[in-house]
Structure 1
Amino acid sequence: MRSIHVIGIGAGDPDQLTLQAVRALRSTDVFFVLDKGEVKADLAGLRRHLLETHLPEGTYRVVEARDPERDRGAGGAAYSSAVGDWRSARAGLFERLIAEELGEDESGAFLVWGDPALYDSTLGVLEEVLERGSVSFAYDVVPGISSVSSLAARHRTGLNRVARPVQITTGRRLAEGFPADADDVVVMLDAQLAFRRYADQDIDIYWGAYLGTPDEILDSGPIAEAGPRIERLRTEARERKGWIMDTYLLRRNPGER
């Protein structure tokens, strides 16, 4: 039976791969790489660099395919529907790639930024492919160093404080209100910079973009002071590269609750 590795590759630095991930890479015949267009071509380039760093030349194949477009303008109730449509389109693509590009006795792999269990669709998409029943395969999951772990390490801080929880959420959720029962909040997928609405509160921000890559940018401090800097850095970086991946930790003084 065909087999698939879903490999967490960290936030971008080839040195962040675990030994387990390297073993999985070395047991793979075909790597499936999704092309997100010319603007994000360096994402595919980073994956190729990772393979070249850890694998002998000529021991594997790379199959690239264009990632389906997603309606990123959908909001409210339409957001979940748009994500569902995109995941189904991805399932159709994965189904074709596995059926046409992977031999019955071969092993394939999808390389996932960070960790496959954190804000990534690959596992759900593969389950949908299996449910369709037209192609069969076994798969395993190799955890990776997430952007959240990398962010905390680069800022030399923990994610939570003594006897306190930490919550991981999205910018969309943060815009609806700061979580009532957590003072340490990690925010991902925030294109709208929702942290700006809390500039008048006693909250520190620890921010990072392109974590683990040569383009990495870091900033931190009270939102009132660091927020404008982060907004400027983010705008400049996005204009320069055409895309940005960033995340941040908000740390609230408990007295603000």
Structure 2
Amino acid sequence: MEVTLLGTGDTTGTPTVGCDCDTCTTARENGVERSRFSVHVRNERTDESLLVDTSPDFRRQFLDHDVALPDAALVTHIHFDHLDGLGNAFRLFSDLPVHAANETDPKTGESVADTVRGKYDYLDALSVHGQRPLESFSSCGFDVTFVPVSHPPLVCYGVVIESDDAKLAITGDTNYGIPDESRARLADADLLLADAIAPAAFCEHHPLGGDHHDADGTPRTFGTKHMTCEGALSLADELGATETRLVHVSHFFPADEAFAEPLAVDGERYVL
């Protein structure tokens, strides 16, 4: 299993358009980028590729990184930065299966699969396949499972991708309050990609502060929707991953911390 991190940033990416903060300035000066979230997973045995989330930066990501166009895609939730690149399928694909959870979201009255199907019904190349959360299905020679996480107010899912000898776990966009059954599915991965949007100290700038505090009072959730860096590392310790990379990273990290381990940047590649 070959994993390429195409996009490791949050909704605005780093550098953020129009921002001259120290972190964005450092990123520009060093040619480092965190575009909107997307992960490319290649099955080395079959040479098929699976794309996790379709970033609005799809075109640039595939031009910049030496990876093949996907044979199938997964969509974890319906936010812009994870879905809206799917329009790039126009004239690039003759057939692209897209997998998404079929669980109805009380907030929208439809599932992620329903939303994808309706929004992109003009793309004949797409076939949308609804999948039951916590039930594995096969795609590109992998066993794939959507696992419910906590990203209010919408339903959102992490993803587990497994082959005979490798396991990739992706938390998806989530706060620290991931359900126990999902934690069990995410555990013991060879590589864990964990949402870590900001350092805990930055919670003081969020209107809602932080949540899911540890025994020392450190918030493991930034606001309500995402984990802090400290929260993601705490989760990683619990899940026992062999290697952890923090993704969905914002420009809210201080410049001297923003590009240090274990915060990921675009283009990293791992063979599991």
Normalised by the length of structure 2, the TM-score is 0.29
Which gives a bigger RCO, structure 1 or 2 (Cα 8 Å, sep 6+)? 1
Bigger radius of gyration among the two = 1
Normalised by the length of structure 1, the TM-score is 0.30
| Greater helix fraction, Structure 1 or Structure 2 | 1
